[in-house]
Structure 1
Amino acid sequence: MKMKRICKKPKHGQLNPADRLSALPDEIVYRIVSFLGFKEACRTSILSKRWKYISDTNPVMELSNEVFSAEPGREDAYIKIDSFLKYVETRMKRYSKQKLHIKKLTLGFPIQRMRFRNTKVALEDKAEQWVKIAVCNQVEELVLIGPKNYEMSDTLLTAKSLRCLDCSYLEIYDYKGLELFPFLESLFFDEVYVDDPMLNRIISSCPLLKHFSLTRCSCRMESVKSIVIPCNSKLETLNLSKSLSKDEGTVTIDTSSLTSFQYIGDLRSWDVHGGRWPVISKDGFLRNLRILKIGFVSICDEVLGKLLSELTLLETLKLCNCSMLKTIRISSALLKEVRLEYCADLLDVSVDAPCLETFKYKGDFKPSMCINSQAGCDISFHIPPSSFRAENFSKMKELLKGLRNCHVFKILLLDEPAEPDKDGIFDINLGEEKLADAHLGPPCDIRELKLTLSSWIFCKSYLSVLLDGVFWTCHPRIFSLRANLRAPNRMIEALVSRLNEMANCWKHPLKRVEVEGANCSDLLKTKKLDLQLRLHW
């Protein structure tokens, strides 16, 4: 005799636990699904019948699939791509028929031109059809990747609901008599084919545009020659990367609304001196700038000095591959972050910033550095071992003296020297005699020291002098040593042995050496492992 299952009914005012997902309001459910990717959002349809409806009417759609990366010559690739296109077609028609609101739509197509055996329809026609549906359904954010040589239509250019547009591998021609992007706030172009007049017309025709990015864009195989930011522009973020003509390009800024500006020269035409600094602006027009990033540009000391003197509100400065710079002098009350990377001729760096929190330097450790900061600051040096010498410790020591409190001091020695010695080991010439002549004096107290080493420099003599120099430079409360242990076991033994010696040496008052996660015997049997040692004072 079968017994009936007795289900307790929920009390009055209580929800059945099994139906709580179905009881959520549409706004909350759409909010949850918006944080998921395309595949994850589709999987939520199994939760309940109502969630199946939510998945099919989600205002955030990501119709970009890996099937386009399949090899077109294979029969299964054609079937897979054709199935995906039919799925997208069905879903877009549903949105069009039911007039469902589209908040964000991502359409990803293959970059190359191709036609598929079963559909017999060019991807350009599909893109145009789906874009029109999105515009009719009041799309707010559109990410359109390809197809290559797809010409942007006037339907998209005049969309009044559009707030953010991110395009790649498209073509834009001159559309006279049209009101372009009347309510657009963010515009991102990557490898878009557009000429100067049309580009400047788009910038000047968008009264609400706040964020604009131009990356690797050109017209008729020529880079953009002229960009003008008009005086009535409300632009806050401007990102120009690898698009402006090296010799003739100019950026004219006639607005004071910019808070972030990044300019990266064209790496394809970049030589040892880089491209020239193309920015033309009147005095005071960049006074509200808070973030400035410059890369692969031949900007001299005088031009940079004049520019920095105008930026009284600057908080972040990054200079990368600016090979003409020899001296950098910064004095700012609000500056919080400075990054200097691979400025080959740099000889002198002086930073007077009471609020400085982060200072990062990459490249040969040639320049003398002076940093004055009253805040807790993190210092980072990424130096090729071949350029690291005993005199570098004295430079680091002087730098630490200018800080009231150093939270984290990082030294990264990762690049490999040119040639190994006869035993196949890269031994750097860092002699103990040179270290003794450096006159480092008493070490500075810092909170934490992080030292990262390449496996190529795990020779005993170099490691011993390096550790001595580091601890004569500073006394950290925490010392972290990270190394990719591809070196022979004898080098790992030398590392652990030297650290144990330092723990018992009067010059380095270490109490003990701790290996996190494993003991030394297990480490010696491992060929490749990230090792962390924390030494306690």
Structure 2
Amino acid sequence: MNPDWEETVSGQLNTVDRFSDLPDFIVHHIISFLDTREAYKTCILSKRWAHISATNPIIEFHFYYEPEFLLRCWPSEEVSARLLGYMDSRMQRYAKDNLRVRTLRLIFPNSNAVLGCDVEKTDLSSKLEEFSCKVDEWIQIAVHNQVARLDLDGPFRYQLPDILLSAKSLRQLNCSKLKIPYYNGAINLASLQTLGLLCVDVEERMLNRIISLCLLLKYLSVNYCSGFKTIVIPCCSQVKELTLSYSLPENGTIILESSYLTCFQFSDISFYSDRWPVMSKPGLLRNLRTLDLFSSGITDGDLGKLLPELASIETLHLFNCHRLTMIRISSVQLKEIYLDECDGLLYVTIDAPSLTKFKYRGDFDPRCTITISSQATCVLSVHIKPCCLHTRGFFKLKQLMTGLRSCNALEISLSDNYDESGRDDIKFVEEELGDVNLGPPRDITELKLSLYDQNLSRSSMSAFLNGLFWTCCPDIISFQFYLEDPGLMMQFFMSELEDMVNCWKHPLKRIEFPDANCSNIHESGKVEVQWRLHW
């Protein structure tokens, strides 16, 4: 018999509520997987569940949706007062009963809703001071009750309180849209492992003090921040993952003195930066495994000095590094390479026997050559103007694919259909190549074609497919149309593909068409279709 059921004298069964016998900390752990609203709904189950909800160590206040709901009943100032009153009474109970606060999330993205007034038309000094004092008090309660995680999306002009800098139990701190002024007192964040700053105005000395004094800090993220020119990762630091995005000014500097770094992501604040701001001593980047650079300032010389230092590099992502013209990489550990919008590249040579993924994405430059000496899965994604697709253009495209031993996918985006003379002609005549022979077409898994703006003429579509099938033999060909009349364009492509079956120029034997009805396509301008080809 099931031990959770007991049979009475009348033959009826009574249930034994084992779940209610669980201790509070286990039930708290269970409801921690629910969002805030769902967790609070459990209070209607019983008196004990009301107690569980009221003592949950995970406290979340999302101010951005509450006013929208309550404004049906009360004006905005009364809504603000009621919400802040509820939040304050909740926090005061944690202080009175000395309840554990494991996580505190305070989300105040809209100052108008929080303060109950228009920030552009009202004198905010008194309201901001009153509100800031309340938030300071809640943070003080959380610190006293051993908070482990604090997420604070700050309201208008809020400054981080000094009390937080003595939170010994704090392991994770995420701040957004607030200010961190300089504090010359003691900083005791002995347990801090994760620090995330987003749109924060932080004084340079303060930022570097926190980094140097938090000896257990492993994950540091500084995005869209201001107030500093130099950031230093000292030799005593154990930071493993560093993300610095759109925060360093053009004359700023990153000084890396620690050898613990395993992941570094950096993005320039300016699209036209002309200098590489990272400084490090030889041998300190030997443990770096992931390097993600969105930097227009890095040059061939900078990259040439940097790459030999990366003895353990496994993933390399270069985005918008338009000053790079040549990349030479020789690495035993390297597994993934992504080159995005590095439009100045002319020569790419990669010798990496462990390479498993390679992707190049950018404008098609006939001068560019790529050579990879591995069987990596390669994806070539290029943007091409139709006026550049002529016989020599297809020849250069095939020549570019020849340097890739194993090309898994070719992605081509067509836009700006007209050249300077106003024509959209795509022409391919194989006889124009003369005696040049690059061998048979490359076998690839998928050919992805994206067509934007204006429609192509029927002759251009025929030449387009003819040149592509001379270049490669895909197992799957997929189209994405972003056109005024995508249905008509899809019909043209289907007709052209059917004409190429058993054509003497191409060994195409059979095409499996999807169940597509072009007449039912809406005016959204976007259509995605896919066919499987049998050669």
Query: What TM-score comes out, normalization by structure 2 length?
Result: 0.84
2:500 is aligned with what amino acid?
M
- The equivalent residue for 1:250 is 253
SS at match of 1:199: helix
SS at match of 2:243: strand
- The equivalent residue for 1:83 is 82
Change (3 A) 1:227 1:529: closer
> Is the 2:511–2:531 contact (alpha carbons within 8 Å) kept by the matching residues of 1?
no
Confirm whether residue 192 of structure 1 aligns to residue 200 of structure 2: yes
1:291 is aligned with what amino acid?
T
2:148 is aligned with what amino acid?
E
SS at match of 1:313: coil
CA distance in 1, matches of 2:38, 2:70: 27
Structure 1 residue 444: Cα displacement? 1.9
Confirm whether residue 229 of structure 1 aligns to residue 233 of structure 2: yes
> Is the 1:480–1:534 contact (alpha carbons within 8 Å) kept by the matching residues of 2?
yes
Alignment of 1:160-171 (within 5 A): 160-171=168-179
Structure 1 residue 166: Cα displacement? 0.8
Change (3 A) 1:206 1:431: same
Alignment of 1:460-499 (within 5 A): 460-484=458-482, 486-487=484-485, 489-499=487-497
- The equivalent residue for 1:532 is 529
Confirm whether residue 155 of structure 1 aligns to residue 163 of structure 2: yes
CA distance in 1, matches of 2:464, 2:359: 21
Structure 1 residue 105: Cα displacement? 1.7
Structure 1 residue 185: Cα displacement? 0.7
CA distance in 1, matches of 2:443, 2:519: 34
Confirm whether residue 135 of structure 1 aligns to residue 143 of structure 2: yes
- The equivalent residue for 1:263 is 266
- The equivalent residue for 2:452 is 454
2:368 is aligned with what amino acid?
S
Work out the number of aligned pairs and report it. 511
SS at match of 2:363: coil
Structure 1 residue 492: Cα displacement? 2.6
Provide the alpha-carbon RMSD of the alignment: 3.4
Alignment of 1:308-387 (within 5 A): 308-366=307-365, 367-372=367-372, 374-385=374-385
> Is the 2:387–2:426 contact (alpha carbons within 8 Å) kept by the matching residues of 1?
no
CA distance in 1, matches of 2:393, 2:130: 62
CA distance in 2, matches of 1:510, 1:69: 64
CA distance in 1, matches of 2:34, 2:480: 35
Alignment of 1:102-117 (within 5 A): 102-110=101-109, 112=111, 115-116=115-116
Change (3 A) 1:72 1:315: same
Confirm whether residue 432 of structure 1 aligns to residue 428 of structure 2: yes
Change (3 A) 1:159 1:478: same
- The equivalent residue for 1:201 is 209
- The equivalent residue for 1:176 is 184
SS at match of 1:432: coil
- The equivalent residue for 1:39 is 37
Change (3 A) 1:147 1:418: farther
CA distance in 2, matches of 1:418, 1:69: 52
2:258 is aligned with what amino acid?
T
CA distance in 2, matches of 1:123, 1:536: 65
- The equivalent residue for 1:306 is 305
Structure 1 residue 104: Cα displacement? 2.0
Spell out, residue by residue over 1:399-453, the C-alpha distance to the aligned partner (whole angstroms, 9 max, x if none).
54455544x304041654578997xxxx644311379537453012233333333
Change (3 A) 1:356 1:428: farther
Percentage of pairs with the same residue: 39
SS at match of 1:456: coil
Structure 1 residue 171: Cα displacement? 2.0
Change (3 A) 1:470 1:44: farther
Change (3 A) 1:358 1:123: farther
> Is the 1:72–1:78 contact (alpha carbons within 8 Å) kept by the matching residues of 2?
no
Change (3 A) 1:80 1:388: farther
CA distance in 2, matches of 1:50, 1:462: 73
Query: 52-61 or 397-406, which moves further after superposition?
Result: 397-406
Structure 1 residue 348: Cα displacement? 1.5
CA distance in 2, matches of 1:34, 1:429: 61
CA distance in 1, matches of 2:40, 2:388: 54
Structure 1 residue 372: Cα displacement? 2.3
- Which structure 1 segments of 5+ residues have no match? 1-8
2:409 is aligned with what amino acid?
F
CA distance in 2, matches of 1:125, 1:369: 62
> Is the 1:369–1:395 contact (alpha carbons within 8 Å) kept by the matching residues of 2?
no
Alignment of 1:505-520 (within 5 A): 505-506=503-504, 507-515=506-514, 518-520=515-517
CA distance in 2, matches of 1:161, 1:363: 47
Change (3 A) 1:49 1:71: closer
1:238 is aligned with what amino acid?
L
> Is the 1:485–1:492 contact (alpha carbons within 8 Å) kept by the matching residues of 2?
no
SS at match of 2:116: coil
Spell out, residue by residue over 1:7-56, the C-alpha distance to the aligned partner (whole angstroms, 9 max, x if none).
xx9258xx978957646665554444333332333344456655444333
Structure 1 residue 127: Cα displacement? 1.5
- Which structure 2 segments of 5+ residues have no match? 8-12, 118-125
Structure 1 residue 284: Cα displacement? 0.8
2:439 is aligned with what amino acid?
G
Structure 1 residue 199: Cα displacement? 1.5
SS at match of 1:463: helix
Spell out, residue by residue over 1:71-124, the C-alpha distance to the aligned partner (whole angstroms, 9 max, x if none).
99997333433333233223222322332222222111236587437x967321
Structure 1 residue 514: Cα displacement? 1.9
SS at match of 2:5: coil
1:86 is aligned with what amino acid?
G
CA distance in 2, matches of 1:385, 1:456: 12
Structure 1 residue 376: Cα displacement? 4.7
> Is the 2:386–2:426 contact (alpha carbons within 8 Å) kept by the matching residues of 1?
no
- The equivalent residue for 1:3 is none
CA distance in 2, matches of 1:415, 1:77: 49
Query: What TM-score comes out, normalization by structure 1 length?
Result: 0.84
Spell out, residue by residue over 1:279-333, the C-alpha distance to the aligned partner (whole angstroms, 9 max, x if none).
1111111111111122233111011012012112111112222222111112222
> Is the 1:393–1:440 contact (alpha carbons within 8 Å) kept by the matching residues of 2?
no
Change (3 A) 1:403 1:110: closer
Change (3 A) 1:477 1:495: closer
